[in-house]
Amino acid sequence: MAETLTEALERIAGGMEFRRFLLPDGVAALDPPAGTQPCDRLLFVMHGVKREPMSLGGEAREIELAPGDAYLVRKNVWEYCSVATAHRLLCIVPRNGFLRVSYYDYPAGMHRGEWCDPEAVHSGRPVPQPLLAVFAALGEPGGEAGSHVPHLLRAAAALALAECRRPAPPAGKAAATFDRVRTFLDYNYTRPIGRGELAERFGLNANYLSELFRRMGGCGVQEYIEARRFEMARRLLRTTELPVKAVAEHCGFSGEVYFIRRFRELHGRPPGRYRIEQNS
């Protein structure tokens, strides 16, 4: 029988041996660009092999990851998310107001952008301060090979395991559903996707999905998607020389004209002017 999420956490916390710990810096860019997330992600390779492009020491490299490898992708650092090879990946994510732990089982032959629904736990309560302190310590540049790192990685797993074992709060089911959908969007917002397709994918009523996003996210589904697209657009305008049309395409906008008009509405100036001001 396949290993469960809690069994994977127990294995890590119980003394799993680590080969190496990596801390991508996001300095070197990919072409086409990779997306970023608004939160830190601590990832453990549990089975198989994962060939993951990363920026390490300011250089883009493809790293072959195997069991015993772990890496921390910090907030707003790009993540390629390679799924070409069979592997299992445990992911601990402290988000604003709750902890998410996911266990992904990727079969061989998937293509980038394809989604694999994980086994996941949504804590429904604020992330404990000791776990945030562990993430802060792991995120210190230059300490990736320190003798303290394996202890921090095991501590992160033990703290996450304790949260997973706590009873979910009364509102936990709706919050967990919202988090599942939002996590999917965080990795797929550059694709053309509508409310109906999204609701069908998760077995939800479309009106309920809209109400859920407004109640728990403070915005509609399409508003959330557009906000993530503009977040990526601003990053590309600041950090690359891609033409405005290419920026719009990479971020999932249907046309350059709409992108420029909407960008001006939201930011008070067109994308080209924004780029000049940010780089001056």
What is the mean pLDDT of each successive set of 10 residues along the chain, which is 280 residues long?
Answer: 92 96 91 81 98 94 97 93 94 92 93 85 90 96 91 98 86 83 91 91 93 91 94 92 94 93 94 91
Residue type, 123: S
The packing angle between helices 149-165 and 5-13, to 10°, is 140
Residue 21: per-residue pLDDT: 98
Last residue of a domain, one of 168, 202, 227: 168
Q: Which long-range contacts (CB under 8 A, 24 or more apart) does 94-97 make?
A: 94/39, 94/40, 94/127, 94/131, 94/132, 94/135, 95/39, 95/127, 95/179, 96/39, 97/126
Looking at the fold, whether 115 and 15 belong to one and the same domain comes out as yes
List the domain range (segments joined by +) for residue 199.
189-280
- Whether residue 72 is contained in a domain is answered as yes
Residue 164: per-residue pLDDT: 94
- Whether residue 134 is contained in a domain is answered as yes
- Whether residue 140 is contained in a domain is answered as yes
Spatial distance between the Cα atoms of 112 and 50, rounded to a whole number of angstroms: 13
Residue 114: per-residue pLDDT: 80
Spatial distance between the Cα atoms of 211 and 111, rounded to a whole number of angstroms: 32
Burial (CB < 10 A; 0-12, 13-18, 19+), residue 64, is exposed
Looking at the fold, whether 114 and 251 belong to one and the same domain comes out as no
Instruction: Provide the whole-model pTM.
Output: 0.82
Spatial distance between the Cα atoms of 120 and 202, rounded to a whole number of angstroms: 14
Looking at the fold, whether 54 and 136 belong to one and the same domain comes out as yes
- Whether residue 174 is contained in a domain is answered as no
Question: Phi, psi (5° rounding) for residue 258?
Answer: -60, -45
- Whether residue 255 is contained in a domain is answered as yes
Looking at the fold, whether 222 and 277 belong to one and the same domain comes out as yes
- Whether residue 16 is contained in a domain is answered as yes
- Whether residue 182 is contained in a domain is answered as no
Looking at the fold, whether 21 and 147 belong to one and the same domain comes out as yes
What is the number of structural domains in the chain?
2
- Whether omega for the bond prior to residue 32 falls within 30 degrees of 0, making it cis, is yes
